[in-house]
Amino acid sequence: MSDTETIHLADYTPPGWLVERTELTFRLHPTATRVISRLRFRRNPRAPEQAFFLHGEDLTLISARIDGQEITPEVTDKGLTCDVPAGDFTFEAEVEISPEDNTRLEGLYMSGGIYCTQCEAEGFRRITYYPDRPDVMAPFHVRVESDMPVLLSNGNKAGEGEGWAEWDDPWPKPAYLFALVAGDLKAHPGAFTTASGKDVELNIWVREADLGKCDFAMEALIKSMRWDEEKYGREYDLDIFNLVAVSDFNMGAMENKGLNIFNSKLVLASPETATDGTYERIEAVIAHEYFHNWTGNRITCRDWFQLSLKEGLTVFRDQQFTSDMRSAPVKRIEDAGLMRSHQFREDGGPLAHPVRPESFVEINNFYTVTVYEKGAEVIGMLHRLVGPEAYRKALDLYFERHDGEAATVEDWLRVFEDSTGRDLSQFKRWYSQAGTPRLNVEESFKDGTYTLTLEQQTPPTPGQERKLPFHMPVAVGLLSPNGDEAVPTQVLELTEPRQSFTFEGLGARPILSINRDFSAPVIVTRKTTAAEEAFLLASDTDPFNRWDAGRALARRTLQQMMHEGSSPSHVYLGAIGQVLAEHGLDPALRARLLGLPGEDELAADEAAAGRAADPARIHKARESLKDAVARMHVGALQRTYMEAQTEGPYAPDAEQSGKRLLANAALSLLSRGDGGDTAREQFARADNMTLSLGALQALLSIGSGEAELAAFEERWRGDELVMDMWMSQQVQLAAPERALEVTRRLTEHPAFNAKNPNRLRAVIGALPANAAGFHDASGEGYAFLADWLIRTDKVNPQIAARLSTAFQTWKRYGERRQEMIQAQLARVAEAEGLSRDLREMVVRMRA
């Protein structure tokens, strides 16, 4: 990577000019759209002297004027420069772009005949010349001219007529929040009255055929609006809120002001086509995008290094929302599970970066689990350290102080310091130091006094050799040997590299329950025994730690099976039996407690223990452990399965979906003993996608399900979202030796479309999820992925860059595999015309 391409946080300079008002006219045409802009510029009194520059990429400049005078600017592939007057002035330009040829899906593009935009992070510069940076905020007035029946943009509607519509957004916003949609769409309408009595018109815009699949999304939107008023005192601020579903979208969804644009898979749902998991995701993402209206839009980011300021906070808010709507412990287990499986992987490899990165080449490569999920964990720690009331007070101050501004992480921490009087300078390291801290635990007990010594240490990450200690909340509880809580949960504040805490007056040596509720995103290392883990799995009062203990126990036995040739441990099997018999426990929680760590996480453990991960061996051990559970507990599994059947009409709520999760978990184990009979029966009678997909998964995992796959395809071939699931399940659950062949065959399936991100993720992106298949000793999985990276990069660099992250774990494997992966990365690096997106990823992942 040449140094001139790298952008540094330290180099931030304020914009030389601010935009007072942005007026845009779009004359839409599939291959020759004209964009006419009129921008009112004002010199920024707080900026150093600099040349006038507007971003612009892949634009054809037709004409430009300053204060009405035609000019001939200097144009490069990055933007435009020209001489400007000393005072305020008006810049006008007309450019031409081709939405139909835009396969990158950044800027203005077409998805299934619908015009739509995606501007975050730097897509607006593909629409017109503009200071495309988040600290330049302006009110927008937009006119759309097209014969499409529905013409939308941000803000309130300002007028419409035959072939045109005008929109006015009074709230100053950066260009990345601009949006435009035009197409043959139908509205699923709704309404909301804000706490202060303002009526808001709500619309979810979809293709006519999808109108029946919007009720749930609308309910979720209304719940989100209410929740943000109640929990954060934040009201909606326009007369109308529009949300559009499109089939081609690089990410999940986008929070454009007053006009959210969604990947259709996160809007459309019916019981027959969406699983319970999809419903939960839809609810969370609708909330997430809506919550951005305050955390992201009203207060935005000064520059892209501050991305977590809006994303970490908004993820934290959507997590709180889901905990309130559903089960808080289950949600915590899901989120902590994601941190462990995905964020720790990123933080422990070549792509590790701080929550606030210090440099980047392509910002699109930093929409990561670290910026989002670890960013949310950092806010969760802050919440735990100051407590819920102080947190709310700090947020009130944040909104009061920074509304209408482009803020920084410093601004964010300052409101907490000012409103609580706390010093957060050490806490701030969570934003600047990458890597997952290790928390080593030592315990001693004497004369009724228990001493807990915690030592924190964070391994080096790229560009950061040495780390300073973090300020972290560690929630601990102590259990008596009889299972009672001897010391209820306390939050210990760790600030030193090594710190001791004592607990007095205990009758017997207690059993430690540490990092309850995943209070800090760290890896706890400690000497324990299988018996202690089984005890915590059975008796801990903290649901997250019960789950965690079950995981630890499973890992222990899996390691023994892999390296000592042991048979599955009786302690583990017995503990699972107890969980199955705990009829009073929330079914969703019971289902989670039965799950095993994934193969990829087990590979990480192997590497952490100093061994080369052997994907085939990991797969085999995990499969035989499932067989053993299934054999040992047939009766209990059958009872669990029966008990988990739901009654009455389908509802995607927490209660019913918890039961179905448990039923499917039991079914998957039962299938290993009954040849799939129960699963076939469930598949045949299922009236919802959760049960049919659960049955199909159970069958695929035992190498069966041919007939069901065919029936499924027959029924759903017209539904692209269901076909995505059909494809990804086949790849993920194929026997390792068949995974590549199945993937290859699907790329030739008529429903496959190499330009659609959802389909690419469902097929190419699913292969690495079949760890033993992807890492096949032949190296063919690696070559296959590399071929697709090169191919996809020419169509959609963002998606190619994302798919490439499958290689980030290369160091975990043996020498042979490492060489093969590096050879493929080298091949990609040499591909002609490689995008900046993919190039940066490959450079970071190469040795």
Nearer Cβ to ligand PHE (291/807): 291
- Tokens representing residue 101 in the block: 């040829």
Among 17, 52, 294, 367, binds ligand PHE (CB under 6 A): 367
By the 10 Å C-beta count (0-12 exposed, 13-18 middle, 19+ buried), 11 is classed as exposed
Nearer Cβ to ligand PHE (262/431): 262
Instruction: Report yes or no: 620 and 627 within 8 Å, Cβ to Cβ.
Output: no
Angle at 580 between CA 544 and CA 570, to 5 degrees: 90
Note whether 251 binds ligand PHE by CB under 6 A: yes
The contact pattern for Zn ion, residues 310-329, with x = CB under 5 A and - = no contact, is: -x--x---------------
Among 289, 334, 346, 614, binds ligand PHE (CB under 6 A): 289
Instruction: Spell out where 74-129 has E strands.
Output: 74-75, 79-81, 89-97, 107-111, 114-118
Q: Which stretch binds ligand PHE (CB under 6 A): 249-257, 384-392, 585-593, 748-756?
A: 249-257
CA distance 755 to 758: 9
The contact pattern for ligand PHE, residues 757-796, with x = CB under 6 A and - = no contact, is: ----------------------------------------
CA distance 552 to 550: 5
Taking the complex as a whole, how short is the minimal distance between the CB of residue 823 and Zn ion, in angstroms?
Answer: 37
Which residues are CB-neighbours of 788 under 8 A, at least 6 positions away?
A: 760, 764, 803
CA distance 332 to 543: 9
Nearer Cβ to ligand PHE (308/682): 308
The contact pattern for Zn ion, residues 261-300, with x = CB under 5 A and - = no contact, is: ----------------------------------------
Note whether 340 binds ligand PHE by CB under 6 A: no
CA distance 5 to 436: 28
Q: Which stretch binds Zn ion (CB under 5 A): 105-113, 303-311, 602-610, 617-625?
A: 303-311
Taking the complex as a whole, how short is the minimal distance between the CB of residue 373 and ligand PHE, in angstroms?
Answer: 11
Residue numbers 594-633 binding ligand PHE by CB under 6 A? none
The contact pattern for Zn ion, residues 403-432, with x = CB under 5 A and - = no contact, is: ------------------------------
Tokens 């892209």 belong to which residue? 304
Q: Which stretch binds ligand PHE (CB under 6 A): 59-67, 113-121, 200-208, 478-486?
A: 113-121
Give, in order, the Cα–Cα distances in Å from 472 to each of 15, 416, 424, 520, 526: 36, 16, 11, 6, 18
Among 255, 362, 586, 614, binds ligand PHE (CB under 6 A): 255
Taking the complex as a whole, how short is the minimal distance between the CB of residue 268 and Zn ion, in angstroms?
Answer: 20
CA distance 165 to 146: 9
Q: What ranges in 327-387 are assigned the alpha helix state H?
A: 328-338, 344-347, 369, 375-386
For the chain, the first-to-last Cα distance in angstroms comes to 14
- Tokens representing residue 510 in the block: 């207690």
The contact pattern for ligand PHE, residues 201-240, with x = CB under 6 A and - = no contact, is: ----------------------------------------
Taking the complex as a whole, how short is the minimal distance between the CB of residue 189 and ligand PHE, in angstroms?
Answer: 24
Residue numbers 39-58 binding ligand PHE by CB under 6 A? none
Instruction: Report yes or no: 366 and 360 within 8 Å, Cβ to Cβ.
Output: yes
Q: Which stretch binds ligand PHE (CB under 6 A): 116-124, 346-354, 524-532, 801-809?
A: 116-124
Note whether 254 binds ligand PHE by CB under 6 A: yes
Helices then strands, each counted (H, E), the chain: 29, 31
Residue closest to ligand PHE, measured at CB: 251
Instruction: Report yes or no: 361 and 1 within 8 Å, Cβ to Cβ.
Output: yes
Note whether 662 binds ligand PHE by CB under 6 A: no
Nearer Cβ to ligand PHE (121/243): 121
The one of Zn ion, ligand PHE, none whose footprint includes residue 821, by CB under 5 to 8 A per kind, is none
The one of Zn ion, ligand PHE, none whose footprint includes residue 511, by CB under 5 to 8 A per kind, is none
The one of Zn ion, ligand PHE, none whose footprint includes residue 118, by CB under 5 to 8 A per kind, is ligand PHE
Instruction: Report yes or no: 32 and 58 within 8 Å, Cβ to Cβ.
Output: no
Q: Which stretch binds Zn ion (CB under 5 A): 304-312, 329-337, 547-555, 586-594?
A: 304-312
Note whether 253 binds ligand PHE by CB under 6 A: yes
Q: Which stretch binds ligand PHE (CB under 6 A): 199-207, 245-253, 475-483, 583-591?
A: 245-253
Note whether 120 binds ligand PHE by CB under 6 A: yes
Taking the complex as a whole, how short is the minimal distance between the CB of residue 255 and ligand PHE, in angstroms?
Answer: 5
The one of ligand PHE, Zn ion, none whose footprint includes residue 244, by CB under 5 to 8 A per kind, is none
Q: Which stretch binds ligand PHE (CB under 6 A): 42-50, 54-62, 247-255, 815-823?
A: 247-255
Nearer Cβ to Zn ion (310/812): 310
CA distance 545 to 514: 8
CA distance 613 to 552: 18
Taking the complex as a whole, how short is the minimal distance between the CB of residue 272 and ligand PHE, in angstroms?
Answer: 28
Q: Which stretch binds ligand PHE (CB under 6 A): 246-254, 407-415, 739-747, 756-764?
A: 246-254
Instruction: Report yes or no: 289 and 259 within 8 Å, Cβ to Cβ.
Output: no
CA distance 831 to 847: 18
Give the residues across from 111 on adjacent strands. Answer: 114
How many C-beta atoms surround the C-beta of residue 493 within 10 A?
13
Q: Which stretch binds Zn ion (CB under 5 A): 158-166, 306-314, 460-468, 706-714?
A: 306-314
Q: How many residues does the chain have?
A: 847
The one of ligand PHE, Zn ion, none whose footprint includes residue 347, by CB under 5 to 8 A per kind, is none
CA distance 332 to 297: 27
CA distance 441 to 669: 35
Instruction: Report yes or no: 622 and 599 within 8 Å, Cβ to Cβ.
Output: yes
By the 10 Å C-beta count (0-12 exposed, 13-18 middle, 19+ buried), 389 is classed as exposed
Nearer Cβ to Zn ion (129/290): 290
What residues are annotated to the active site?
289
Give, in order, the Cα–Cα distances in Å from 421 to each of 416, 487, 494: 8, 29, 19
Q: Cα-Cα-Cα-Cα dihedral of 459, 463, 466, 468, to 10°?
A: -90
Note whether 283 binds ligand PHE by CB under 6 A: no
Tell me which amino acid residue 730 is: Q
- The DSSP code sequence of 398-448 is HHHHHTTSEE-HHHHHHHHHHHH----TTTTHHHH--SPPEEEEEEEEETT
Nearer Cβ to Zn ion (256/456): 256
Looking at beta carbons, which pairs linking 568-575 to residues 24 or more positions away fall under 8 Å? 568/624, 568/625, 568/628, 568/629, 569/530, 571/530, 571/531, 571/533, 571/534, 572/530, 572/534, 572/625, 573/628, 573/629, 573/632, 573/633, 574/534, 575/534, 575/537, 575/538, 575/550
Which residues are CB-neighbours of 653 under 8 A, at least 6 positions away?
A: 326
Taking the complex as a whole, how short is the minimal distance between the CB of residue 212 and ligand PHE, in angstroms?
Answer: 26
Taking the complex as a whole, how short is the minimal distance between the CB of residue 63 and ligand PHE, in angstroms?
Answer: 31
Note whether 287 binds ligand PHE by CB under 6 A: no
Nearer Cβ to Zn ion (92/311): 311
Nearer Cβ to ligand PHE (179/409): 179
Give the residues across from 492 on adjacent strands. Answer: 474
Taking the complex as a whole, how short is the minimal distance between the CB of residue 362 and ligand PHE, in angstroms?
Answer: 12
Nearest in space to 331 (alpha carbons), one of 342, 322, 340: 322
The one of ligand PHE, Zn ion, none whose footprint includes residue 251, by CB under 5 to 8 A per kind, is ligand PHE
Among 311, 335, 586, 601, binds ligand PHE (CB under 6 A): 311
Residues that bind Zn ion (CB under 5 A): 311, 314
Residues that bind ligand PHE (CB under 6 A): 118, 120-121, 250-251, 253-255, 288-289, 311, 367
